[in-house]
Structure 1
Amino acid sequence: MCVCVCIYMHGLLIFLCALLLVKHLRDVLTNNMPPGPFPLPLVGNFINIDHVDQIAERYGDVSTLYLGNKPCILLTGYESFKEAFVEQADIFTDRPYFPIVDKLSKGKGLIMSSGHMWRQQRRFALATLKYFGVGKKTLENFILQECRFLCDSIQTERGLPFDPQHFVTDAVANIICGLVFGHRFEYDDHNFHLMQKYLDEFLQLPISNWGRLYNQFPTLMSMLPGKHQTAFASISKLKPFLQEEIRKHKEERDPSNPRDYIDCYLEEIEKVLVSQDALFTEDNLMYCVVDLFGAGTETTSNTLRWALLFMIKYPEVQEKVQSEIDQVIGQTRQPLMDDRTNLPYTYAVMHEIQRFANIVTFTPPRMANKDTTVGGRLIPKGVVVMPLLKSILQDKNEYSTPYEFNPAHFLDENGKFLKKDSFIPFSIGKRMCPGEQLARMELFLFFTSLMQCFTFLPLEGQTLSLKGTISVSSGPEPFQIRAVPR
């Protein structure tokens, strides 16, 4: 009897597995999605996720991956980006739902919100950043002041080995602090470093394996230990810090003279209380502040750390940059944004650092709000769209040596700076990075200031790695260098 039952159960299991496989095959073969590697049942193309550039090369600029049993469209190539995000901008502004994002930000803030919520928050953020000088001389002077603090701090290392990460991150974070909080922090401030630590843990989660697992199995993962739990705890620890800043602003602000983003947001909250509009709340303010720090600190500081690494790796480039700075600016005054046109090589090097570092492989995912096509391929409504910037920054048709560090990519035959429309490290369209102008100012002024003041060298007998870390933006692994005053 037992033997018969076992045979029956075994046969039933085989039958159910065969049935599931047939259903899987039917779903994949009849869904009319763009081409892509064949997905395995349940896990999809999980094993292919780290080789997306090869998938794009094989299947074209619009291809399909499966995250578990859900299709995801991989978008690559400048023309595809332009067709989707510029020519069909209104169709591709929404973000798809991910359990990990819902857990971390509840669909609020600037980056992962959608619809009317996103449009209102972005419009407000852009207007506020402009009001406080983004793209203007007032903000340039503030950045130059932080450049002095950064160079003075590095000077105290006296040419001995040090890790530049905290110095660079603190300097860049202070620019956002000035815009958001109305003040900067000292580089040895404990709470300042705690805030950055919590932000790092929060930002690393969505793109990590822990984040992917949570998206596939949210109920199970919520009960299991892991780095996802650390990130959840970090956002909880970050909130009291931000709530205290908001409390101080409410007590001290002068409505007729707003000092920063928080002051302006609190004024907006008061305005919408009359209209009962729930889009501007203190809770949403906190998520917007987190997004401003995430978008405005990690990406810029990681790019500057790559810059230092590349200058050490390619000393002939560093020497040529310093020579050009010495000729145009000298050693007695600070660099200015107006110097860019007279520093074509330095400006080209800054662009090549962004291209070669490729710190944001994927821009945050999108979805179409109705059925459409890109490159002649169907993009169904509601399907996740993953825009891959790497393919654009390594386009063989645009860059003669796409896998090598080569500032000549941005110079013409006369040594003048060569602007490329396809150079879009901040993406394009209505969802492009709202802090692009700010980031460009910071990168140029911090980089030229550092090159003007120091020669960066490796430690004796050390070979620096160019391996990156996994996060929303990829930075170099921790490294030590020497900064010799010039």
Structure 2
Amino acid sequence: MWIQAILVAVLVCLLILHFLKLLQTHKKYPPGPPLHEIFAKVIQAGFRVHPDMFTEMAKEYGSIYTFWELNVPVLIVSGFQNIKEVLIKHSEEFSGRPVTPFYKVITQEKGIVFSNGHNWKQQRKFGIVTMRKLGMGKKSMESQIEDEAHQLVETFARAKGQPLDPSLPIFNSVSNVICALVFGHRYSVDDEEFLKLMHALERIEKIGGTFFHLLYEAAPWLMKHIKWPYKEVFAAADLVRSHAVKETELHREKLAAHDPQDFIDYYLLQMEKSKNDPTSAYDEANLFQCISDFIFAGVDTTSATLQWGLLLMLTHPDIQEKVQKEIEDVFGSSKSIAYQNWKKVPYTSAVIHEIQRFKCIILSGNPRQSVQDVTILGSFIPKGTIVIPNVPAVLYDPKIWETPRKFNPNHFLDKDGKFVDREELLIFGAGARVCLGKEMAKMELFCFFTILLRAFTFTLPEGVTEVNSEPTNGLIMFPQHYKLCAVPRVQ
């Protein structure tokens, strides 16, 4: 008995010491909400992270506060100047990416988005250089995007002005832009492999930011034994990776060292070039994850923004008409609307940027992790601390925007009607981890939006007077499914 009593006493002492250590650790960080408050808010929001949750808590706890994911401190930073301080002024100190238990399974800490250190630097540098070689920001890539936009016009035209759900056609068209970049070819929309790939993307995206996602992050040791719903999600990630493996093998068979055509070709040549370099991180595991990164990051974001854009044209027909008139006045019957001429249509450009601001598609900015101790914003931030920039709070800040909760293209126009590029639009991030495909995404949004509005006037179906403007659950917030009528315009 006395042995058991000693063991119990030792256990109690260890728990007390652990608790005291936690209290001491908590004092190092800015105060914030307790974990039970976070979960209460998630439950109140229907078992998901609500877009305004971080902003609401900032009103109570300040522009920089901490919440604890069990023993892990997470700093939420709000306010444009504060976020700028973290992402730009201290870009290198916060260049790390926290790899949570869920995403560690999904990405294996490879690729670009969820890797760190030497591996990340090599993959990101290679990605930037290769995308430039493949035409990012150039006419060659614009031609591919225009081809997909015209394919989308044909799809809409087949509906002959009758109600249609634009989500799947937009998703497929944007996906094919990325497939052309990575695989060197597009897919037919009824291709079985393509449909499986698109379904896998949708399955992974839908769990992000949900209660089950948070549960896995909080208790992976328990959740990994509960197959539902994680089994389907991890299987979807495996399917995307398997598709990357299959495409890579096909590329190997026909690879021409003098004539690389796509990202896989360039990466295989780089692997061969650096095979004797002991510092090289170019390998198949990184290639497969880079492919997945391009698909995940490049499809959902652009397709969600375009879907919101058309929805806003339905609810703001006056703005839609002004865009169409400007395009006609500037380009007339010209066959192509070159992206390089975007400044010639300032109102249209302002509308596209306002779509991104008003219907922010992300729950927060991408999380960063401090790679060294740093004192910032009056707080000491130890190495390894996770920092989340509260980007939506900036996009709806009444101190920055005249009508933050109203769709208003004038936010991006000066008093003379000229376009103003606002640095507060942090939708692509900033600093060392700024979105790799930023320029490509901007080109896609401009080309798709102008080509669609040149071809059609978008209206609500007969008898429909309003639409649901609430976003879906997920890390990327799509609009709820809706239908529109694409009425051909007389050219």
TM-score scaled by structure 1?
0.92
Give the equivalent residue in structure 1 for 2:40: 47
Mapping for residues 126-165 of structure 1, pairs under 5 Å: 126-165=128-167
Give the equivalent residue in structure 1 for 2:460: 458
| Contact 2:304–2:478, Cα closer than 8 Å, also in 1 | yes
Q: Which amino acid aligns with 2:40?
A: I
| Contact 1:199–1:290, Cα closer than 8 Å, also in 2 | no
Partner residue of 1:480 out of 471, 479, 483? 483
| Contact 2:99–2:114, Cα closer than 8 Å, also in 1 | no
Give the equivalent residue in structure 2 for 1:34: 30
Mark the CA change 1:44 to 1:395 in structure 2 (over 3 Å): closer, same or farther.
closer
Q: CA deviation at 1:59?
A: 2.7
Q: CA deviation at 1:404?
A: 1.0
Mark the CA change 1:94 to 1:485 in structure 2 (over 3 Å): closer, same or farther.
same
Moved more, 335-344 or 161-170: 335-344
Partner residue of 1:356 out of 358, 361, 366? 358
| Contact 1:45–1:67, Cα closer than 8 Å, also in 2 | no
Listed one character per residue, the Cα deviations across residues 201-227 of structure 1 (whole Å, up to 9, x for unaligned) are 223334322221111111211111322
Give the equivalent residue in structure 2 for 1:271: 273
Mapping for residues 191-210 of structure 1, pairs under 5 Å: 191-210=193-212
Give the equivalent residue in structure 1 for 2:114: 112
Q: CA deviation at 1:45?
A: 3.0
Partner residue of 2:472 out of 456, 469, 474? 469
Q: CA deviation at 1:150?
A: 1.1
Mapping for residues 55-454 of structure 1, pairs under 5 Å: 55-277=57-279, 279-454=281-456
Q: CA deviation at 1:44?
A: 6.6
Which stretches in structure 2 are left out of the alignment for 5+ residues?
42-48
Measure, in 1, the Cα distance between the counterparts of 2:77 and 2:188: 42
SS in 2 for 1:73: strand
Q: Which amino acid aligns with 1:253?
A: L
Q: CA deviation at 1:196?
A: 1.3
* Residue 23, structure 1, aligned to residue 14, structure 2: no
Moved more, 193-202 or 129-138: 193-202
Measure, in 1, the Cα distance between the counterparts of 2:97 and 2:80: 20
Q: Which amino acid aligns with 1:53?
A: T
Q: Which amino acid aligns with 2:370?
A: A
Measure, in 2, the Cα distance between the counterparts of 1:65 and 1:240: 37
| Contact 1:132–1:139, Cα closer than 8 Å, also in 2 | yes
Q: CA deviation at 1:305?
A: 0.3
Listed one character per residue, the Cα deviations across residues 370-420 of structure 1 (whole Å, up to 9, x for unaligned) are 221222222222121112110111121220111111111111111111221
Moved more, 228-237 or 399-408: 228-237
Measure, in 2, the Cα distance between the counterparts of 1:332 and 1:312: 26
Measure, in 2, the Cα distance between the counterparts of 1:56 and 1:427: 20
Q: CA deviation at 1:85?
A: 1.7
Q: CA deviation at 1:63?
A: 1.1
Give the equivalent residue in structure 1 for 2:44: none
Q: CA deviation at 1:441?
A: 0.3
SS in 1 for 2:148: helix
Q: CA deviation at 1:295?
A: 1.0
TM-score scaled by structure 2?
0.91
Measure, in 2, the Cα distance between the counterparts of 1:26 and 1:408: 49
Measure, in 1, the Cα distance between the counterparts of 2:176 and 2:211: 31
Q: CA deviation at 1:273?
A: 1.6
Listed one character per residue, the Cα deviations across residues 167-223 of structure 1 (whole Å, up to 9, x for unaligned) are 111111111111111111122222112101112222333432222111111121111
The root-mean-square deviation of aligned C-alpha atoms, in Å, is 2.3
Q: CA deviation at 1:231?
A: 0.5
| Contact 2:366–2:429, Cα closer than 8 Å, also in 1 | no
Measure, in 2, the Cα distance between the counterparts of 1:22 and 1:110: 36
Mark the CA change 1:282 to 1:323 in structure 2 (over 3 Å): closer, same or farther.
same
Q: Which amino acid aligns with 2:31?
A: P
Measure, in 2, the Cα distance between the counterparts of 1:405 and 1:101: 34
| Contact 1:100–1:206, Cα closer than 8 Å, also in 2 | no
Q: CA deviation at 1:102?
A: 1.1
Listed one character per residue, the Cα deviations across residues 12-69 of structure 1 (whole Å, up to 9, x for unaligned) are 9xx97xx7799379617852211222x15xx573334642111123333211112234
| Contact 2:241–2:289, Cα closer than 8 Å, also in 1 | no
Listed one character per residue, the Cα deviations across residues 229-250 of structure 1 (whole Å, up to 9, x for unaligned) are 2111112222332211111100
Measure, in 1, the Cα distance between the counterparts of 2:366 and 2:340: 33
Mark the CA change 1:284 to 1:338 in structure 2 (over 3 Å): closer, same or farther.
closer
| Contact 1:44–1:69, Cα closer than 8 Å, also in 2 | no
SS in 2 for 1:419: coil
Listed one character per residue, the Cα deviations across residues 49-107 of structure 1 (whole Å, up to 9, x for unaligned) are 64211112333321111223422100122212221121111111111231111111111
Mark the CA change 1:24 to 1:190 in structure 2 (over 3 Å): closer, same or farther.
farther
Give the equivalent residue in structure 1 for 2:46: none
Measure, in 2, the Cα distance between the counterparts of 1:314 and 1:57: 32
Measure, in 2, the Cα distance between the counterparts of 1:238 and 1:338: 34
